[in-house]
Amino acid sequence: MRNKVVVKPQISLVTPYGIEYAVHVITDHFGNLVSKVCECILRRGPLTRSNLKRYTELSDSQIKNCLLVLIQHNCVQAFAVEQTGGFGEATRFVTQYLALFNNIVHRMRFSKFMKILSQEFDGECLDLLEGLFEHGRLTLKQMFDRAKSAEKEGKHVTLDYVQEILLKLMNARYVERCPAPEPVLAPKDEAPAKKRGPKEIEEPKSIEQEVLEAAVPVEAIRFSVLDPDVDGEKKDIKPSSMTAGEKRKYDALESDEFGATATVVYHANFEEFVRCLRHKACVDNVRARLDDGAATVLSAMLDATRNEETEVKAKRSASLSLSSIYEEVIKTEAGRNMTLEHLRAYLAELGTPPLVKVSDDSYNIEFEKIIELAQIEEMESIVLKRYGQDAYRIFRLLSREGRLMETEKIADVTFVEKKETSKILYKLWKDDYLHMEKLVLAAARQTQFMLWKVKKQNLLKHILDELFHATLNLRQRLAYELDQEKELLKIPADKRTGALNNRNIRLNKIRKILQSSQMKLDDSIMLFYDF
């Protein structure tokens, strides 16, 4: 049994501007009332309906309707917390509501997700997924009704046909069953103690992680499809490899949450789309850092280990032998001319620095290292664009060294004048790009030294907040431009002539630039937050 990888505790990366950005997305999609409830949960953490009523000053029915909208679109998850009663009182369960920040931000990535799917599947699959993005979650019957209403002349859509499309998407893990509507969190003192060995140190789980883990169905039914048979009974297409333990949990869930009288609901599996985007980012980074051949090898390794990679933020891929890598490489058009000698050379390239680690004739992709190098390059690029070449050299030195360095030493290594070095260091420190410490030597004459370093985790959060801020500004600017031209947008397109047409061309140009800039910024956000 494979040991778990050491995971260091990390600070929360949900930043102040990240919350403002998420609230703006909800406001744009669902209006001010829903966003008010969502913002309250985002800022205060999990809340009961009574507390939401107290903080938002909305009526109980308004809060209920807002929560239903947010739950329908996978932006809020309900869960129950056990509360022990007083003397002679029974234990009761209190329902709380948790905002799913990641799912809210993913709403702006639907076009990216659709592009991923379009590379693997046909139009029918795209239509089904588009319906899930539009409505949040749907039953098989609702998917069928939607497909039926959109069917083209001469084509007959059946329930079996829709189910077949759904099964394709679930086998590829792009669609999954919705989580339990209200999972119960086990009391902390009753939670089973986890064994801790030298390689089994786990990061403390956030409340969001605990709730989502409690809500997600077991793997055996998470990607199974409801199959109405000829007698009208409900059966599930489920993996034949299910273990006895999974079978018991499956049956329990079926009777409690997905029973004969319950309706099975499906939604898009954002985790799988993020995984695909992370793989693309890794390949693109290796192509820019090394060459096309190394990128081809890495891409083939990612394809070969996709089914074994179960965590979006896994540190390392499953092990692969040289022969299995070569078998996957020659399946691709770019790798058909590659020999084993070429493959060994590219794997050696990927091993320095260790983007791919070799051990006992097996190879593992070091995801953490690839992403870390990409993050460092992005940070350095931001410093170069904002502060100039000298600041870039200074920041790069401190970033690569990872230790405290004295001002004079930094000036000597980077060939920047000491006076100018001091100005740059102070500017970077003032803008939270550097950490500074003062060292005072008490001798006959007291001497003070300024020591500088890059604290990557703190800087990562700072840059992420700046990225959310910039993206929010672009969204607000686009909303302003659309509001200024709202009368123009009401006019039919064929009647926008003369001056109106010029205004329409200008608006479309601005919209295209702003939306394109948002997508580029979102790529950076994903690099620092999602990967």
AA letter at 100? L
| Block residue for tokens 């996957």 | 328
Contact call for residues 254 and 221 (beta carbons, < 8 A): yes
CA distance 362 to 305: 13
pLDDT reading at 199 higher than 90: no
pLDDT band at 226 (very low <50, low <70, confident <90, very high): low
Please report, rounded to a whole number, the percentage of residues in the chain having pLDDT higher than 70: 83
pTM comes to: 0.83
* C-alpha to C-alpha distances, 60 to 56, 67, 482, nearest whole angstrom: 10, 11, 34
Per residue in 87-144, pLDDT (tens digit) is 667 778 899 999 999 999 999 999 999 999 999 998 889 999 999 999 999 999 999 9
- The residues with which 115 forms a beta bridge, in sequence order, are none
Structure tokens at 287: 């192509």
| Block residue for tokens 């090898």 | 297
Per residue in 366-389, pLDDT (tens digit) is 888 899 999 999 999 999 999 999
Contact call for residues 488 and 495 (beta carbons, < 8 A): no
Higher pLDDT, 384 or 262: 384
pLDDT reading at 251 higher than 50: no
| Beta-strand relationship, 234-237 and 225-228 | antiparallel
pLDDT reading at 84 higher than 80: no
